[in-house]
Amino acid sequence: MLCALIMAGGKGTRFWPLSTEDKPKQFLNLTGEDTMIQMSVKRLEKLIPIERIFIVTGNRYMDLVKEQIPDLPHRNIIAEPVGKNTAPCIALSAFHINKIYEDATIAVLPSDHIIQNEDSFLKVLNTADEFVNKNCDAIVTIGMKPDRPETGYGYINYSDMDSEMNGFEVRCVNKFVEKPDLDTAKEYLEDGNYLWNGGMFIWKAANILRLTRLHMKETYKLLSEIASTSKEDYHRVLEKKYRKIEGISVDFGIMEKVKEIFVIPGNFGWDDVGSWEAVERFSEKDCDNNVCMGDVQNFECSNNIIISNGKQIVISGLDDIFVVENDDTIFVGNKDEIENIKELKSKIS
């Protein structure tokens, strides 16, 4: 039985000042009428009923999840008392989902990605589910075919050996590699055996727990103690024991130690919306190539990004700048410096 686990605990610091710790990017309208997490849920509901869609997030974002996804059952919101990176988060969720749906397959998916061809994506996801049901110890990830030497993504190196299912290739993963420099990214593109890593994994809940027990023994011990707690004591025990768990990514905690990992190459217009450049790429523009969101007026301006979160913004005679406003801050700069926002934030008192 296929379930989805949407990871929604990130802080979205690269989108400050629009994204804040109180309301990070997955809860914002960055590229359309819906927020990023609403887009993710609506996309999945074409394949998976809402009863089998789960969201794992921090305690502080529980109310935002309920507000933005009102049809999501309360039991389907899994709260972390504190962020411990992806490996404990996924294992905690696997314990929870496994109690509700025996023999569940879990598609672990980010909450803040754009997918333009949703039908193609869902066919890939369905194929991954079929493959895992036939190979219960397998992990399947989805890799995107690169069309440029991107330095902002990790990559998946895959083998020439392959099988086919539903018209899709299923390749063996050789290794996951970190974000490369530009020259290395160009080599990956020319090589042809590298895909962008979108951080999507499809695997059996039982397999998640087995691999956690095998490779992260202390984490598994603490999580199993939390999972076996009575309903009345659960939140108290979770709060106490989860803080003792080592924070580690699923890549380092499990993926680097496992051999049965496969990748399905996809080509469905994916982007992780990890930068303002991505927002500009996917946003509607006016005739002068301006991206304007919110209460914005511009006169004789071109190639700007102007985002209002409530206050009216008026600009005149300016090109190649960005203006981002929220309740506390108005940020103005040259557009070619926009990717430095995260570093600049740390310098502002």
Q: Which two tokens stand for residue 209?
A: 């727990």
Whole-number pLDDT of residue 59: 92
Q: Give the Cα separation of 158 and 144 in Å (integer).
A: 12
Instruction: Give the phi and the psi of residue 318 in degrees, each rounded to 5.
Output: -120, 145
- CA proximity to 327, closest of 309, 307, 340, 348: 309
CB atoms under 10 Å from CB of 104, counted, come to: 20
- What string of pLDDT tens digits covers the 349 residues of the chain? 999 999 998 776 677 777 778 888 899 887 778 999 999 999 999 999 999 999 999 999 999 999 999 999 999 999 999 999 999 999 999 999 999 998 999 999 999 888 999 999 999 999 999 999 999 999 999 999 998 998 888 999 998 767 888 889 999 999 999 999 999 999 999 999 999 999 999 999 999 999 999 999 999 999 999 999 998 999 999 999 999 999 999 989 999 899 899 999 998 989 887 777 778 888 888 999 999 988 999 999 999 999 888 889 999 999 999 898 877 788 888 988 777 776 777 777 5
Please say whether the beta carbons of 243 and 88 come within 8 A.
Answer: no
Whole-number pLDDT of residue 112: 86
Whole-number pLDDT of residue 12: 65
- CA proximity to 90, closest of 251, 233, 229: 251
Q: For the chain, what is the total number of helices (H) and then of strands (E)? A: 11, 17
Q: Give the Cα separation of 33 and 52 in Å (integer).
A: 25
Please say whether the beta carbons of 268 and 120 come within 8 A.
Answer: yes
Write the CB contacts of 171 (distance below 8 Å, at least 6 apart in sequence): 158, 159, 161, 162, 262, 263, 264, 265
Please say whether the beta carbons of 102 and 224 come within 8 A.
Answer: no
Q: Where are the alpha helices (DSSP H) in the chain?
A: 36-44, 62-68, 86-100, 118-134, 182-191, 205-215, 217-227, 234-242, 250-253, 276-282, 341-345
Q: Give the Cα separation of 264 and 173 in Å (integer).
A: 10
- Name the pTM for this structure: 0.90
For residue 324, give the 3-state DSSP assignment: strand
CB atoms under 10 Å from CB of 298, counted, come to: 19
